[in-house]
Structure 1
Amino acid sequence: MDADTQHEDDLDREWWKEAVVYQIYPRSFNDSNGDGVGDIRGVIEKVPYLDDLGVDVVWLCPVYDSPNADNGYDIRDYHAIMDEMGTMDDWEELLAEVHDRDMRLIMDMVLNHTSDEHEWFLKSKDADSEYGDYYYWMDGHDDNEHPPNNWTSIFGGKAWKFDEERGQFYLHVFDEKQPDLNWRNEDVREDVYEMLHWWLQKGIDGFRLDVINLISKTEGLPDGEPNPGWVGWEHVINGPRVHEYIREMYDDVFSEYDIMTVGEMPGCGVTDAQQYCGEDGDGINMIVHFEHADIPYKPGGKWDLEDVDVELDDLDDLTDPDTVFNDWNLDELRDVLTRWQIGLEGEGWNANYLGNHDHPRTVSRFGDAGAYRKKSAKMLATLQFTLQGTPFIYQGEEIGMTNVEWNSFDELRDVEAIQQTEELMERHDADFEDVRHVVKHRSRDNARTPVQWSDADNAGFTTGEPWIKVNPNYEEINVEDDRADDDSIWQYYQELIDLRSGNDVLVYGDYHLLYEDHPEIYAYLRTIDEHGVLVVLNCFAHETTFSLPHHLDAPDPELLISNYDDAGDDPEEFDLRPFEARVYRIS
């Protein structure tokens, strides 16, 4: 253990460090009016549920006015609520309900791009208007027969679309209905900051900033290096003026409020995060990075299949095709998480998540969605809640929701899944039946199936026709049953939340990795002064043995929590059963 381990009197306390965040994807959370789409009033109905679970912060995915090309991440009007979601009065009632229970509300905010139906974009089609430079407009090559450069969209296809009215191409790093804002234009930044103030003055408690490190592009927008995935990424991620822009946003807006800011930053490493975080950096509270979420994807991305050693034609012949996609490496995961734990200690703060609306279901990805679903879901939750950082629960994780069997292309709803599946079928000269296993394990739609509230029709989500398929396993996996079961995943999450709230060492304690190369076990210490917590996790479905390293001893140990009822009180040496998790207090 380091001699300079921190002391309780020196803790840099912040409410957002001690909080537990619950992410709501409102379209799939709870439908209040029977139209098949979740809405704000549906969230209001479930605020007591969130309070009972014990969370402190609600992160609400976009509910702004939007044509829904990317389910709300294409904003048409930052100051209005989408009709499907409800009204501004509904939203204000939600804010009041959350605050009345001493919880806080943060809003998802998209600043890299808008909808192509936004007033700014429509006016920018006139190059001579005051909005003519609000987006990236460029002439193409060969009399506009070809785009200005070779960049591709994250969602697939070219990153440029020709607009007949303006007679130029515009840049869209995401869908063609999501044109990128030109942050080099000072007027753009001023309008954005004014809008952020407007929301903060309504009383919200912060923002989750969508792909915020993409707002600066390389000057001149040169060609990107050829690669099998996203071409041009090196000119989009962590661009030349990104720190200037984010620091300006902090100085002009965020510094005036006691808020939580969470920056989603693909392609962000620890060194980058150290620059983005804290008042001595750019002012962001914490970073959502992708290094662990992208395991085991190769440079071509999750749809490239370079990491899959089996031909598409052979997948259906395997006894368990799921194992092909779940062959992740513990060494890699442990190394990534350790690098971020140590790298941000005293330099920033971690956002601890394993799944969200952009990734397949956590238990299907890193656990076992079959025989050990409950044990592995609890083990993964233990990991999230015992690392240094703020834990993020994505809706449905607290009951161990799983990926879905997608039976036809028509069942897909996500713009990325649709475009990438089409390209995948074309690239491999395949039909949907050939690629359905890929979709099951790589599609964002897995995380967007409705929350399974009960075993009633449509999982209790809606009385109408759901906008997206309901996972058929809702009769066995649902909130109602979990809340009634003392040994459920839901009850375990509640216990973890209580445990973390009563132990500073689990929030602020230093992180010390044990056994950096153990093939099955992830184990570490958290320490403040003489207080220590030992975390031991078996990450796989077979038994293994843990021994406390010789240089440590554990006088008067106390078992704080385990996902097995009969876990022993002695942490010196013990056998770990499949996906077993144990947390001990030691001196």
Structure 2
Amino acid sequence: MADGSRDAWWKDAICYQIYPASFMDSNGDGLGDIPGILSKIDYLKDLGIDVVWVSPIKVDMGYDISDYEKVYPPYGTVKDMEDLIEACHQRGMKIILDLVINHTSDQHAWFKESRSSKDNPKRDWYIWRPPRYAEDGTRLPPTNWRSYFSGSTWEFDEHTGEYYLHLFAKEQPDLNWENEETRNAIYDSAMRFWLDKGVDGFRVDCVNMYSKGVEFKDAPIVDPRFYEQPAWLYYANGPRIHEFLREMNEKVLNHYGAVTVGELPHTPDPNKVLQYVRASEKQLSMVFQFDIVDIGQGREHKYHFQEWKLPLLKGIVAKWQQFIEGTDGWTTVFCENHDQGRSVSRYTSDAPGDRARCAKLLSLMLCALTGTLFLYQGQEIGMVNVPRAWPIEYYRDIESVNFYRAMAARTRGDPAELDYVMRSLQILGRDNARLPMQWSAAAHAGFTECEAGPWMRVHDLYREINVERQVSEGEGSVLGFWKRMIRFRKEHADVLVHGAFEAFAMEDESTFVFGKRAGGKRAAVVLNFTGDEQAVALPEYGGLEFKVGNYDDAAELERRAEERGGTRTLRPWEGRLYLASC
């Protein structure tokens, strides 16, 4: 783990996540690849990116690892990755990779050995349990745990007569971290191999799921319609998780000065999160806390969309901005990734007349928050969710498709129920983030020259929302605004990246007002999250001067006499940022 002091390089960094399958296709096969990423490396440098995060390159589009020391052939080769690492470093950028070590592919050599017989030396490298039986003799899984992709977490193996655990797809058996030999093999194959090639760290996939304990109990029944029940309370934040992470640092990460950002779901308590990110704990540099991207998800299943109001979002932002104050911990800033709907569609309005302004509103908010900032590909041009009219046949994500099929079976194809499911998928589904990157108005959004088209349908709006068009529009575009805000964030990193957060009028359902404090410097941000005009009061910091807004004429309005004092009238989806020095 890298140094946890205030001047650790990764605290001020702007990170950009790439989902390889959908970023850029270099060879015309319809699938994005590593040479495609390399062809756009100067685009990322020009955007102001400091760290390139490449999602898995190794059947869940890369999270199904069959060999940690190879690259998924359609993406390229290890030599391609070496070239990409060198290209990043030549431009003063760093590169991190996904570290997927909760599970492997069922095609990994380790698992093939493990399932070959009960007495194989690698049998205990994975989690195997015998079946249990109902009173009528029906064979049952060891527990009623539900996997993330629907159905049981247990898959029966006919050859050995036992079940293996898979929290995700059945093709992704979970590794047994209780076995020290397994852990050491992971450190060598999944970590040292790539660190020796020059990668600067890892985004650590489902980092709090390695320790599952040794007891396997049935989960409480929260959805009686299903046999399988959510069971994260038994497999997340287990009894040895902190021990495992300290060992990982001591044996591997500390020797390379590698940065780590952990994926930390099911951990709403800030005190428990601090156990992972305090520098003195020597575990993780920072984590992604998912409250903000979980907004709107249902209790029984994430794809049961629930309406929400702005105070919920404001409370979440405040919670994860303030939890590190007075500690040696650190936090992250993000609202998109490869597993979520697009932020413009989820938190604002993606209507034609609103979407560009809303994308800028979110940029202004994010760039003023404390922590390491992460962007997801396409966020910088304001990409939006799939059209509502798309049928399930256009969806490719295994989680979404499996859930739709399960609900269709359980409701016997009830049109109203399935319409609700499709509406939920259109808002929350992972496919929203996995549509091909929109580079131009050319065929297939300039993503591929494959005549048959890309692996997944491009968005219907690619001719209106694309990089080439926004480059030609300059600073007035969403892309131009992001470049401006990234520069501004770096120029005022003392207060924007490192400042203490203060929220105002938290119960207001229309506007979000917050301040930042660092020494004698102050920043204030006012945001209108509605399509109507709203009056807002600036924080009483004194000496605030307008600096940036998402309306071109905001500076002129600030000069008008009627807006003297602490009150401002914000137009629909308007945001403004102010600075002051005491």
TM, length-normalised to structure 1: 0.91
Q: Which runs of 5+ in 2 are unaligned?
A: none
Distance 1:231 1:538 in 2: 37
Q: Deviation of residue 144 (structure 1)?
A: 7.6
Paired with 2:566 and 2:573, the residues of 1 have a C-alpha distance of 19
- Give the counterpart of 2:329 among 336, 344, 348: 348
The one-letter amino acid of 1:112's match is N
2:184 corresponds to which of 175, 186, 190:
190
Paired position in structure 1 for 2:542: 554
1:519 Cα deviation (Å)? 1.9
Q: Over the residues paired in the alignment, what is the CA RMSD in angstroms?
A: 1.7
For residues 11 and 114 of structure 1, the distance between their equivalents in structure 2, rounded to whole angstroms, comes to: 34
Return the TM-score normalized by structure 2.
Answer: 0.92
Q: Counterparts of 2:138 and 2:7 in 1: how far apart (Å)?
A: 56
Partner amino acid, structure 1, of 2:551: Y
Query: Which residue in the other structure is 1:502 paired with?
Result: 491
Query: What residue in structure 2 maps to residue 204 of structure 1?
Result: 199
Whether 1:330 aligns to 2:295 is no
5+ unaligned residues in a row in structure 1: which ranges?
Answer: 1-9, 308-326
Please name the residue that 2:345 is paired with.
Answer: 364
Q: Give the Å deviation of 1:152.
A: 0.9
C-alpha displacement at 1:149, in angstroms? Answer: 0.8
Q: How does 1:468-547 map to 2 (within 5 A)?
A: 468-486=456-474, 487-503=476-492, 504-547=494-537
Contact persistence 1:524–1:534 (CA under 8 A): yes
Residue type at the aligned position of 2:93: M
Which residue of 379, 385, 399 corresponds with 1:403? 385
Q: CA deviation at 1:572?
A: 2.0
Contact 1:275 1:282 in 2 (8 A): no
Offset of 1:483 from its aligned partner?
Answer: 1.0
Mapping 1:251-400, distance limit 5 Å = 251-269=250-268, 270-305=270-305, 307=306, 327-345=307-325, 346-370=327-351, 371-400=353-382
Provide the rounded CA distance (Å) in 2 between the counterparts of 1:360 and 1:424.
21
User: Is the Cα contact below 8 Å between 1:533 and 1:583 reproduced in 2?
Assistant: yes
1:62–1:73 Cα contact (<8 Å) kept: yes
Aligned to 1:133: 124
Q: Which runs of 4+ in 1 moved over 4 A?
A: none
Alpha-carbon offset, residue 409 of structure 1: 2.8
Distance in 2 between residues matched to 1:553 and 1:178, nearest whole Å: 53
Whether 2:458 is the aligned partner of 1:458: answer no
Deviations 1:346-398 (A, max 9, x none): 34222111111000111111111112101111111111111101111100011
Q: Which amino acid aligns with 2:395?
A: L
1:103 aligns with 2:93: yes
Distance 1:534 1:170, change over 3 A: same
Deviation at 1:219, TM superposition (A): 2.1
Q: Could you tell me whether the CA contact under 8 Å between 2:280 and 2:328 is conserved in 1? A: no
391-400 or 426-435, which deviates more? 426-435
Distance 1:334 1:272 in 2: 21
Q: What is the CA distance between 1:553 and its match in structure 2? A: 4.0
- Measured in 2, the distance between the counterparts of 1:518 and 1:441 equals 24
Q: Is the 8 A contact 2:385 2:427 kept in 1?
A: yes
What is the alpha-carbon distance in structure 1 between the residues aligned to residue 404 and residue 83 of structure 2? Answer: 40
The answer for the alignment partner of 2:40 in structure 1 is: 46
CA gap 1:54/1:159 in 2 versus in 1, 3 angstroms: same
Q: Out of 212, 221, 227, which is 1:217 matched to? A: 212
1:566 positional shift: 1.8
SS at match of 1:475: coil
Structure-1 separation of matches of 2:206 and 2:282: 15
In structure 2, the residue corresponding to 1:446 is in which secondary structure? helix
Q: Name which of structure 1's ranges 513-522 and 358-367 shifts more when overlaid on structure 2.
A: 513-522
Secondary structure, in 3 states, of the residue corresponding to 2:438? Answer: coil
Partner of 2:571: 577
Which region of structure 1 is more displaced relative to structure 2, 393-402 or 122-131? 122-131
- Residue 14 of structure 1 and its aligned partner are, at CA, apart by 1.2
- Alpha carbons of structure 1 residues 71 and 144: separation in structure 2 relative to 1, 3 Å: farther
Question: What secondary structure, in the 3-state scheme, does the structure 1 residue paired with 2:312 have?
Answer: helix
Distance in 1 separating the partners of 2:524 and 2:80: 45
Separation in structure 2 between the aligned mates of residue 506 and residue 438 of structure 1, nearest angstrom: 34
Q: Tell me, in whole angstroms, the C-alpha distance in 2 between the residues paired with 1:169 and 1:365.
A: 39
Deviations 1:402-428 (A, max 9, x none): 111363333221111111111122233
Quickly say closer, same or farther: Cα 1:41–1:144, change in 2 above 3 A: farther
2:222 alignment partner in structure 1: 227
Assess, with a 3 A threshold, how the Cα gap between structure 1 residues 571 and 290 changes in structure 2: closer, same or farther. farther
Matching residue's letter, 1:200: L
Q: 1:144/1:180 Cα in 2 relative to 1: closer, same or farther (>3 Å)?
A: farther
Q: Distance in 2 between matches of 1:571 and 1:527?
A: 20
* Worse-superposed segment, 266-275 or 294-303: 294-303
CA 1:506–1:553 in 2, change beyond 3 Å: closer, same or farther? Answer: closer
Q: 1:38 to 1:301 in 2, by over 3 A?
A: same
